[in-house]
Chain A
Amino acid sequence: MADDPIEQFHIEPIAEFNLAGWDASFTNASLAMVGGVAVAALFFNWAMKPAAMVPGRAQVVAESAHDFIRGMLKDGAGEEGVQKFFPLVFTLFLFIFLSNMLSMFPGFFGVHHVFAPTSQIVITAMLALLVFFTVIIVGLAKNGLKFFKVFAPSGVPIYILWFVILIEIISFFSRPLSHAVRLWANILAGHILLKVFAGFVPALASLGLIGILGASLPLAMTVALYGLEFLVAFLQAYVFAILTCIYLNDALHPGH
């Protein structure tokens, strides 16, 4: 059914592939992710090719994207964070942003729609866990046992410290969950909402003249929601990146 709002999230294998008994097929989700990465790589290669002192339009876009994430990381984790983690945060931001943006295409060249990889919790959870384990590994490697000060805020009386530590541990482990769920839920809900409202249009329009007049209302709503979804596509990539910066700061400077 074309008007099933969930149908867009079905994963269909493009090339079946088995890896030691595991299903590792190349699917439409994989294709969308490769597309996001390819757009980022090709655009930045093309835009930065002149590397001119006075940049052209494409180079301005590429350089302001770079400066945007650099400033975010500097505010979040300091100059040291920029030196250590800039490639990670920039890659995460571009990947999420471009996957979200590409998934706004309703479909072309016989493709039914462009898959939204970030609407799959597996993918957002892997991205969030990547950040989570980066924080733990870098924090332990850099600070040693001092890293565990993230669990013990300074200035807490000793008789309540055990309780605070328990709460801080739970709070620390809840980070990847909320980090992943926020991106996933926003993209999933946005895409379902678009499909639901768009589905009203043909359903109403098939009812005759009054139906066609009535169908203009959900059509206007779909157009408005599309604009909102473009904002969400950017905003969620931004939020994911800025939370990554905040979490990475803990790896460099444990202790609140």
Chain B
Amino acid sequence: MADRKPPEDALSNLRRRVDAARGTDGSQNAPPPQSPASLALRYGGEFGAAVIVGALLGYGADYLLHSQPWGIVIGMGLGFAAGVVNVVRVAQSYSRSNPVDPNAPSIPDDEED
């Protein structure tokens, strides 16, 4: 106990060593692996929710404008489009957090060209 540092100093020193040992800046927060079933439910949920909301908004427009059945028809179509957008967003965020292994064998191209 030759060098008695003030406690704050010793604490930040400890924090630095702990972070170095962890190999991160302290924000190590690995998400738990997602099971394929929960991923499938997520995709389906995002798509279905958008279709339902699109149809409901279209129905609401019909109710206000007395334009049956065009609101629900167009709303459902837009809902499908929004659902595809949602699914693409989820898939993009999934691929970002689970990048493809660069050393993985590529799928052989069986096209005649």
CA distance in complex: A173, B51 (Å): 11
- By the criterion CB–CB under 8 Å, are B46 and A178 in contact? yes
B21-33 near A? 1/0 per residue, CB < 8 Å? 0000001110110
Q: How many residues of B contact A (CB 8 A)?
A: 28
Question: Are B27 and A170 in contact, CB atoms less than 8 angstroms apart?
Answer: no
Q: A68-B29, A71-B29, A238-B32 are in contact. Are A182 and B57 (CB under 8 A)?
A: no
| Cβ–Cβ contact B27 & A235, under 8 A | no
Count of interface residues, chain A, beta-carbon cutoff 8 Å: 28
Which chain A residues numbered 119 to 150 have a C-beta less than 8 Å away from chain B? none
Q: How far is the CB of B65 from the nearest CB of chain A, in Å?
A: 16
A126 CA to B46 CA, complexed, in Å: 18
The answer, yes or no, to whether B69 is at the interface (CB within 8 Å) is no
How near does chain B come to A52, taking the closest CB pair, in angstroms?
13
Q: Chain A residues with Cβ under 8 A from B71's Cβ?
A: none
B29 and A170 contacting across the interface, CB-CB below 8 Å: no
- A8 interface hit (Cβ, 8 Å): no
Binding site for B on A (CB under 8 A): 53, 68, 71-72, 74-75, 166-171, 173-175, 177-178, 181-182, 185-186, 231-232, 234-235, 238-239, 242
B interface residues with partner A (beta carbon < 8 Å): 7, 11, 27-29, 31-32, 34, 38, 41-42, 45-46, 48-50, 52-54, 57, 75, 78-79, 81-83, 85-86
The 9 tightest CB contacts between A and B, nearest first, are A71-B29, A178-B49, A170-B82, A177-B49, A174-B49, A174-B50, A174-B53, A171-B82, A178-B45
Known: A170-B50, A178-B48. 7 other contacts (CB 8 A): A53-B7, A53-B11, A168-B82, A174-B79, A178-B86, A182-B41, A235-B38
13 A-B residue pairs with CB within 8 Å: A75-B27, A170-B54, A173-B53, A174-B79, A174-B82, A178-B86, A181-B45, A185-B41, A186-B41, A234-B32, A235-B34, A235-B38, A242-B31
